[in-house]
Structure 1
């Protein structure tokens, strides 16, 4: 049975904006990533706001702002209430990423878009999975199974496989087939579980880019840094706070250790120490090189000896002389990287190394565009050299300054007044609560009232009842401090119970043991959540013109497959339908044209616009059909995988009402012939499934069923069929274009070919070999 599948691009289509997409599988609504920019402008989420309350599950693929930046805000402000899913590193590193992004904003402005509580609440709702671990969803998503596979690019980066019935949807964005120093490449091409999906959703971000070899890029980075430091200049590398920074940090740490360099090397981020501490615990998610270094040489990767992890700018200012700094955030729009860049940009000897191009509109993209326009042609190794950039950039400089003098005194006075007001309000609320919950009788109430009076005054006045006064004389009053014998609370038997009696001995020990078991384990949110500063401060905004005169170079450390690799990968995956998302208009068009011109790739290629909903269901007309028990018992079922299939020829009629279960009679007029269902194009509108208020149909067999031509149902992969043939004693080999040859070189050779539409054909001389191969091929299908 096929599912009803719709896809809507919320953000990141025909542009390079963050990734966010809505996938509808029957009634279930899945949100694929929930990205934002580090500007955190709520106006960018207008499309997400319309559908957030309807989402049933969120699948997060990478632990950076581009993929999960809007998740805490959507959970706290847009009504998103569902559970999210991601790998363990995406959970831990993603939380650190959002902490760092929040602190970078809160350091320079009164940032209220989201809080650390929103971040904590968001990641508490995340279910963590391991690679290749199928997980069945529940609720409206019942029947859907999701599985995470390695995507490369970032630690824990994920390619999602979403399966419902016979439909398989693969969401593969920002993957990297090449091996990094700390990560293996993606498994997109190497596992058959991701081969030939019903729908492949992928990006065109690098469709027109060429990437030099890793060895060349590493050498260019090291040579550029060495030349700058020898020239008594400093180097700034703007990086993210938790993902791709690991590749650069590991590379530079190894280089410093091998050459015993004395130049200061620092990683400056609010969460720098926590990032490296967590990286030490994620060795199983990293590449083979990391595992070998740990098992064979007992080296602890990311146990940094040469790189300093700093979290305050004051600590960096104490380091004198030329230095290299990896600073967050990578966009240069905020964070320590922008503050360092403002101080170093006017010095011509300094150099800024851009490991990625940055988002459109960011300061990083501005520098990249200027370098791209000024840099010389590529050298033989494919790396373009650094060049001096001359720019005057209008910039809004923001600072946070501690309060002093009268401002500090006024702030403290207001805080004291607020604390007193809060204390009074809390006392009143507590008194009302105690009054409501009190079970004292009237006498005890009077005693409590007197006790309250005594708590606020030292004495009371008692009138002397034996003396009276006239018009001008008042009766004498005596000051008296009364002694009140409070009533002790006892049980029904008159015994006073001491609660401490019941918390001694073995009971107290058992209670302590239970508390120790139920106590949450450390290294959760409390251990990685940063402490918010309580220093009274004010925020100052100044419009400046930043004079950029330093050198700039772009060296590709984005960790994504380039255009040539993408064009080689897609034919191997061979999707039935292809959806291209995130990428410039030119890159999206270029990749779409290539796919349409390549026969081994599907001709059904979709490039949706933002907000456009497209229908990518495998079938064009889907109905829910109700069969009678007598009809089901008469069917001859054929097994295929986990399903039982049968062929039925009959007439479909709409019942007069939804509760009518009576079989239609032969004279009914409104009917459809099952054997001649109409077809339509993939994007053409079609009837909705029964789950969307289409009436359930009744099916009755025709009085005289005609014999139908047998139908083969199934999708046999040639690689699996080859293993079956070899187990039966046949000699096989793959020829050109994926052709499987059985008994090559003999007179009875048989050729099995898969056409572009997925159909299999056999060619060969009629004989024992041909019929045996055909019988084995038929056995891999259900024959109806």
Structure 2
């Protein structure tokens, strides 16, 4: 069956805003990402609010605010009530990301847009998957299978394939085909499962950018940092709290360890310790370089010896001298990065290194635009130098300060008064209940006691078998002590065990004493992921200030996305039947769309929807659904092809409900499992009739049909594995070409309409190659 597919961009289309899209497959509504900015303005979610209650599933592709930021808010306030699907790292790192974002805002204002309870509830509803693990959805999404594939860019980053019947929709945004130090590249071009999809949804964010080599970028970053530190300057790198920061931290730790540098290297974020602790448990999701370091050199990746993880600004103030700080959040609008930028921006020798361009409207994008307009366009190896930026920006500075003096006394008095009023109200309620009980007769008293027990905090109601009442009275109950079982904590390796439970008293005392004698209790409790609430009486103040920016700024691309040239090479290899371009500036979107339309090997159906625009990307024709009898199915000779089983059957199709079948004509049917396919005029899938098929002897035999598409490069690898020597000559695959002779040579070429032709002298080589070539197809 061909599905009825519609697509609507809710955010991130013809602009560089966060990503959020609605994919409709027949009756199912699937939300692709649920991004927001760290300003957390509910006005940005108007489109999401309109459809949130109708969503049946959410697919999350990366663990940063631009992909998951609105998910807790939508679950708590917009009526989103469905499961979300993500990989294990996206679940764990995404929760840390949202904790850090909440704490960053709560540190400077009375933030109530969403709470930590909303974050916990949202991630508790998340279903975690592994790469290449097909997962069948239920409910309105019944019949739809989703599969996650590696996207690169971030640990656990995902390309989603949504499949129903013969339709496949691939959602691939923010992917990276190049290897990072801690990640492998995407599998978008290397796996057949993602090739030739019905619809490909991808972004044009980097369509106009060219990325220097990784070696060049790494060297430029290190040289810029060392030049600043040697000049007694401070270096600030605004980073996210859980994703791309791992690449920068891993790179700088390796350089510090190799050079034995003494300059302070700091990662400052509210969840910094937990980020690095969780990174140690995700080695299987990382690249070959990390795995090789762990298995061959016995190194423990992300067990840093030079990088300090801090979560309080007062700990950073204790470190004297020039230092490099990786601070969250990456927008420079809030969090510790904003705090440090306000302190260091006025000093000319200090430098801010931007690893990404930032979203429009952010402080990071403002600095990037200023650097881009002033930097020398003559780049050295693709890296443009740092420049001194001179800007005066009006800021609304927010700050949280503890209460003192009279304000603190008034606050404590109000709290005391509130507690007394609550205690007085509770006492009056108890007295009223006792008065009501005294007015009841004996039977009513007994019933009231039972009701009181059931309504209290006691665990269970049990009859007292040792005590009997009157002739018509029930046995009275006795109360049970309440039992509270603490929630078991489970990680990827099973239930977490507290060793102190099994230690004797003297060992417990020794451990407690050692903990108290620790000089700096900096390490957080990683098992307790949720941060503690700040109970110190405080108030929030706001001041309008003028921020004078005089420091140096440089942009070095560590976004971890494929650049424009790579994207233009990748899309023809994927070869989608229909292409939807989303997130990207107006110019980038238009340029990539024009390139795809002008490329012969690309589809001519390229869509660039605007915000709120719904487009129909269903197939031009649907197919009949045919019922076959058990006897017919058992007689078919099935041939396997990818995820399908195919067979050939001849018959006459007729309508089953007594409808006129005088127009029924013999036709060939290609059988796909228990349904056969034949084109009909375009119509919604819900209106496709279900037909019966009656087998007849139209013809004793038919011309064999080869189903499948084989790439010459893949067929060459197969031949080499079978012991053949091969080479490409002018686009033609030559097999077993002997020097100075054509004896035993076979030529495989791609003919018109994408068909493969086999040429050569009859012999052992020819027949073996032909057998292998036929084996790559389903012969019906």
- Confirm or deny a common fold (TM above 0.5): yes
- Post-superposition offset of 1:363: 0.6
Q: How does 1:590-669 map to 2 (within 5 A)?
A: 590-617=591-618, 619-622=619-622, 625=625, 627=627, 629=629, 638-641=638-641, 642-647=644-649, 662-666=657-661
Paired position in structure 1 for 2:759 = 764
Query: 1:371 aligns to what SS in structure 2?
Result: helix
Distance 2:381 2:529 in 1: 42
- Post-superposition offset of 1:8: 1.9
User: Would the alpha carbon gap of residues 289 and 628 (structure 1) be closer, same or farther in structure 2, given more than 3 Å must change?
Assistant: closer
Query: 1:528 aligns to what SS in structure 2?
Result: coil
Q: 1:689 is matched with which residue: 685, 700, 703?
A: 685
- Post-superposition offset of 1:29: 2.0
Contact persistence 1:623–1:697 (CA under 8 A)? no
Contact persistence 2:350–2:551 (CA under 8 A)? yes
Contact persistence 1:181–1:289 (CA under 8 A)? yes
Q: Which deviates more from structure 2 when the two are superposed, residues 427-436 or residues 22-31? A: 427-436
Query: 2:357 aligns to what SS in structure 1?
Result: coil
Contact persistence 1:752–1:760 (CA under 8 A)? no
Paired position in structure 1 for 2:397 = 397
Contact persistence 1:354–1:555 (CA under 8 A)? yes
Paired position in structure 2 for 1:15 = 15
- Post-superposition offset of 1:42: 0.9
Query: 2:622 aligns to what SS in structure 1?
Result: coil
Query: 1:210 aligns to what SS in structure 2?
Result: coil
User: Would the alpha carbon gap of residues 773 and 602 (structure 1) be closer, same or farther in structure 2, given more than 3 Å must change?
Assistant: farther
Q: How does 1:235-634 map to 2 (within 5 A)?
A: 235-423=235-423, 442=442, 445=445, 491-492=466-467, 521=496, 527-617=528-618, 619-622=619-622, 625=625, 627=627, 629=629
- Post-superposition offset of 1:756: 9.0
Post-superposition CA distance 1:587-633 (Å, at most 9, x none): 1122222222223333332222222222333x323255454749967
Contact persistence 2:277–2:526 (CA under 8 A)? no
Contact persistence 2:467–2:476 (CA under 8 A)? no
Paired position in structure 1 for 2:144 = 144
Distance 2:437 2:704 in 1: 77
User: Would the alpha carbon gap of residues 730 and 650 (structure 1) be closer, same or farther in structure 2, given more than 3 Å must change?
Assistant: farther
| Count of matched residue pairs | 721
Distance 1:732 1:434 in 2: 95
Distance 1:102 1:696 in 2: 52
Contact persistence 1:91–1:126 (CA under 8 A)? yes
Post-superposition CA distance 1:3-61 (Å, at most 9, x none): 33222222111111111122222332221111111111111111111221222211111
- Post-superposition offset of 1:568: 2.3
User: Would the alpha carbon gap of residues 443 and 620 (structure 1) be closer, same or farther in structure 2, given more than 3 Å must change?
Assistant: closer
Query: 1:527 aligns to what SS in structure 2?
Result: coil
- Post-superposition offset of 1:246: 1.2
Query: 1:590 aligns to what SS in structure 2?
Result: helix
- Post-superposition offset of 1:64: 0.4
User: Would the alpha carbon gap of residues 151 and 438 (structure 1) be closer, same or farther in structure 2, given more than 3 Å must change?
Assistant: farther
Distance 2:245 2:372 in 1: 23
Paired position in structure 2 for 1:469 = none
User: Would the alpha carbon gap of residues 550 and 760 (structure 1) be closer, same or farther in structure 2, given more than 3 Å must change?
Assistant: same
Distance 1:609 1:756 in 2: 38
Paired position in structure 2 for 1:87 = 87
Contact persistence 1:750–1:762 (CA under 8 A)? no
- Post-superposition offset of 1:206: 1.0
Q: Which deviates more from structure 2 when the two are superposed, residues 178-187 or residues 330-339? A: 178-187
User: Would the alpha carbon gap of residues 448 and 42 (structure 1) be closer, same or farther in structure 2, given more than 3 Å must change?
Assistant: closer
Distance 1:143 1:423 in 2: 57
Contact persistence 1:73–1:113 (CA under 8 A)? yes
User: Would the alpha carbon gap of residues 727 and 563 (structure 1) be closer, same or farther in structure 2, given more than 3 Å must change?
Assistant: closer
- Post-superposition offset of 1:353: 0.7
User: Would the alpha carbon gap of residues 416 and 751 (structure 1) be closer, same or farther in structure 2, given more than 3 Å must change?
Assistant: farther
- Post-superposition offset of 1:76: 0.8
Distance 1:111 1:159 in 2: 33
User: Would the alpha carbon gap of residues 76 and 373 (structure 1) be closer, same or farther in structure 2, given more than 3 Å must change?
Assistant: same
Distance 1:216 1:438 in 2: 86
TM-score normalised per structure 1: 0.81
Distance 1:396 1:643 in 2: 64
User: Would the alpha carbon gap of residues 734 and 100 (structure 1) be closer, same or farther in structure 2, given more than 3 Å must change?
Assistant: same
Distance 2:758 2:416 in 1: 90
Paired position in structure 2 for 1:97 = 97
Q: Is 2:229 the counterpart of 1:229? A: yes
Contact persistence 2:63–2:242 (CA under 8 A)? yes
User: Would the alpha carbon gap of residues 41 and 736 (structure 1) be closer, same or farther in structure 2, given more than 3 Å must change?
Assistant: farther
User: Would the alpha carbon gap of residues 416 and 740 (structure 1) be closer, same or farther in structure 2, given more than 3 Å must change?
Assistant: farther
Post-superposition CA distance 1:265-297 (Å, at most 9, x none): 211111111111111222222222222322333
Q: Is 2:172 the counterpart of 1:177? A: no
User: Would the alpha carbon gap of residues 165 and 222 (structure 1) be closer, same or farther in structure 2, given more than 3 Å must change?
Assistant: same
Post-superposition CA distance 1:421-474 (Å, at most 9, x none): 44456667788999999999628949999xxxxxxxxxxxxxxxxxxxxxxxxx
- Post-superposition offset of 1:327: 0.9
Distance 1:265 1:139 in 2: 51
Query: 1:299 aligns to what SS in structure 2?
Result: coil
- Post-superposition offset of 1:200: 2.2
- Post-superposition offset of 1:164: 2.4
User: Would the alpha carbon gap of residues 513 and 170 (structure 1) be closer, same or farther in structure 2, given more than 3 Å must change?
Assistant: closer
Query: 1:160 aligns to what SS in structure 2?
Result: strand
Query: 1:373 aligns to what SS in structure 2?
Result: helix
Query: 2:175 aligns to what SS in structure 1?
Result: coil
Post-superposition CA distance 1:102-141 (Å, at most 9, x none): 1111111111111000000111111112222222222222
Contact persistence 2:181–2:247 (CA under 8 A)? yes
User: Would the alpha carbon gap of residues 437 and 630 (structure 1) be closer, same or farther in structure 2, given more than 3 Å must change?
Assistant: farther
